Structure 1
Amino acid sequence: MGNKKKSSFSFESDNIFFYIIRRWRFFAAVVIAAVLVSSIVSLLIPPRYKSTVILFPAASVPVSQILLAPGYSGSRVGITSFGEEEEAEQVLQILNSEVIRDAVVKQFNLMEHYGIDTSSRTKRTQLLGEYKKNFSFRRTEFLSIEISVLDKDRQMAADIANYVASLIDSVMNGMKRARAVKAYEIVAREYEDLQKHVNMLQDSVEYMRKMGIPDYGTQIEVLTDQYAQALIKGNSAAARTLKEKLDLFNQFGSRYIALRTNLDLETRQLNELRNRYIQAKVEAEQDLPNKFIVDSAVPAEKKSKPVRWLIVVVSTFSAFIFALIALLFFENLWKKIRREI
């Protein structure tokens, strides 16, 4: 039993240290080989360059009301205000959408650029893998958005990053416009219908004016007084003329008042609807940016990947640990076999 305990290896730090010292030639050879191999492998990895765009999302505001509504104070932010967390999350969602990805793939022919066989059944999976590896979108602690692109071509990395940033406006404005145009079409129809009805009322009022009924209330009082005076004076011709006018006013006067009242009411409604019509038109046609660019992407002067010294260090350390574990395992296995023999 005593011999078994002595022959067993203890994994204490002192024992491991002296174990390595006793076999330093072996471990030195492992380290040298690992350094050489990892250095060669790292040199074979093509360099990739990173370009970055930094931007702030714009605040979501009712553009038409801010620009057109006098005295509007429904929001503490304006069209030049930076967005907050909600807007930043919306921009991130847009950046991670298929619309952005497909547009970038098409614009820069990434299938060919990444060397993906277009006849392969897994071509889309391969493309998505490359895309996730080379594209990064994140929100910073300052609520800005960072767009990073890695590519073996430094100029292309910058071009792609700037193009992705430019797509934010076209995609977001397109989504907003699709909804705003529908609203504008509804308001436009209502406005045109009400405009036609107001025009019809105006024509009717104008027709009655030409008939001599411009102001029913005042005219009826004056004509009644004149008619009475004509009767008193025995002026039958004047009385007959005034009687005809009174009959005309009695026939159309109440209708004129109703038309005039209705015209005033619908004119006010038309003015209110016209304001909504103009606002809806502005929302449907507005093309304001949804972002503020802080830093545009420029071609990188130095490569971002691979970090060769890190590859060499990690590979060498991993090889050393693996060699140590393997050597301990096989030596103990060999001792066990010898004891059993």
Structure 2
Amino acid sequence: MSESSYSLLGLWPVINRWKKLVLAAVVAAAVLSVVVALLLPNIYRSTAVFFPTNPESTDPDRLVDGGKLELGGRSEDLDRIITIGQSQPVAEQLIREFGLYKHYKAGEPGTDAVENAVLYEFSSNLSIVHNERDAIELTFEDKDKELAARLANRLVQVIDSINQQLTLENRRSVLGLYKLRFEFLQSEFEQSRQQLVQARRRYGIYGLEQQGRYMAREIITLESKLRQAEGSGNANQAAGARRALQGLTGAGGTNTINLERYVQGTDSMGLFVARLTDLQGRLVKARGDYETADLTLRAKISSLYIVQKAYPATRKSKPVRWLIVVGSVVVTLAISIVLITLLELYKRSRRGSRRRFGQATGAGS
């Protein structure tokens, strides 16, 4: 006779024969899982949601000129923020700041084992993901819901600070160039001003246009007086007018304002005045640029647009205790059924082997 095949329909008789053992295993698993689930601490989750802003739009120089903040949904901006948040220096800073060596009960810092254990625990509790709305969700889990919220918010601040630092050094270099240009123009302006003062004293020119009109009027007046004195035969008056005219127009004239020196200094004074005017305009602009750059460098403009700060959770995120108990019971029941099924198959195969062996022995005798 051929041996009947073993099918799923025969599971219930098998389970019924082993029901006490299966029931004992399920009850033991339920009790053990309840104890374990009750011993597990509550884990709370706090989440902060933010957008990275476009780095170009957060440049204070552009804001001073009327630019506006723009949200940056570019993949490189998102990747940069996530990379900063998951970097080891950021993790080490927060671990020291919040005393997580003691909180995680890892031991005293200083050994590789302790450092690796704390970093692993920190990284396991941290999640930074890019969601479908192009925002970044930063989540931190911990047994202390207040600590989880404070650490998540602090991590957002650290990411913001480091993200700003990426362009801060370049902006400081630009500020140095502004300062160098301002100091150079200030030095050149002072030197040109001194040269202009010396030229005024040398040539006796303090106002080109005004002095030109004054000398022209005085020369015409003196020449008229000289001609009148000569015409009237007044020698003394003519001599006085001639000396006054000579002092005003002659090369060796002793007048402070002299036509000869005025003509000689006109070109030089024009050059000095033009140079000084040009330097003055450039100096004023350079000073304004430097002050604006210095002011904007001191300003702290956030590179993140925070949609939601992390708040202490009002309910735990895990463990789901009923799921642990139910899962343990189901897994235990499934394993028990598999084991007793394999045992029944083994016993059946042994009985079949003995039967065939007995039949073969009887036929041989």
TM tier relative to shorter chain: 0.7 to 0.9
* SS at 1:122 equivalent: helix
Alignment of 1:84 onto 2:107: no
In structure 1, the residue matched to 2:161 is 170
Counterpart AA for 1:187: Y
CA drift at 1:309 = 1.4
Query: Residue deviations 1:6-39, cap 9 Å, x none?
Result: 35534xx555577556655554443333222212
The 5-angstrom pairing of residues 265-304 of structure 1 reads 265-304=278-317
SS across alignment from 1:40 = helix
Pairs within 5 Å for 1:164-243: 164-210=155-201, 211-216=203-208, 230=223, 233=227, 236-237=242-243, 238-243=245-250
1:1-341 → structure 2 map (5 Å cutoff): 3=2, 6-10=3-7, 14=9, 20=15, 24-60=19-55, 61-69=57-65, 72=66, 78-79=68-69, 81-85=70-74, 86-118=76-108, 120-210=111-201, 211-216=203-208, 230=223, 233=227, 236-237=242-243, 238-244=245-251, 245-340=258-353
- Where structure 1 has 5 or more consecutive residues not aligned to the other structure, the ranges are none
**TM-score (norm. length: structure 2):** 0.76
What percentage of aligned pairs have identical amino acids? 24
| TM-aligned CA distance change 1:150 to 1:251, over 3 Å | same
Task: Provide, for residues 67-92 of structure 1, a one-character-per-residue CA deviation record: whole Å limited to 9, x for no partner.
Answer: 433xx4xx5xx14x544345444332
Partner deviation per Cα, 1:200-230 (whole Å, 9 max, x = no partner)? 2123224434543245578568757976984
The answer to whether the Cα contact below 8 Å between 2:42 and 2:319 also exists between their aligned partners in 1 is: yes
Q: Contact 2:141–2:148 at 8 Å: present in 1 too?
A: yes
Cα displacement (A) at 1:50:
1.9
RMSD, aligned CA:
3.3
Q: 1:296 & 1:120 partners in 2: Cα distance? A: 35
1-side partners of 2:156 and 2:41: how far apart? 26
Q: Find the aligned partners of 1:310 and 1:171 in 2 and give their Cα distance.
A: 41
Q: What number of residue pairs does the alignment pair up?
A: 329
SS, match of residue 143 in structure 1: coil
Q: Secondary structure at the match of 1:148?
A: strand
Unaligned runs of 5+ in 2: 231-240, 252-257, 355-365
The TM-score, its normalising length taken from structure 1, stands at 0.80
What are the Cα deviations for residues 45-81 of structure 1, in whole angstroms up to 9, with x where unaligned? 1222222233343443254334433xx4xx5xx14x5
CA positional deviation for 1:122:
1.6
Q: Alpha carbons of 1:215 and 1:121: their partners in 2 closer, same or farther (altered >3 Å)?
A: closer
Aligned residue identity for 1:168? I
Paired position in structure 1 for 2:358: none
On the 8 A contact 2:47/2:138 being kept in 1, the answer is: yes
User: How many angstroms apart in 1 are the aligned matches of 2:58 and 2:181?
Assistant: 22
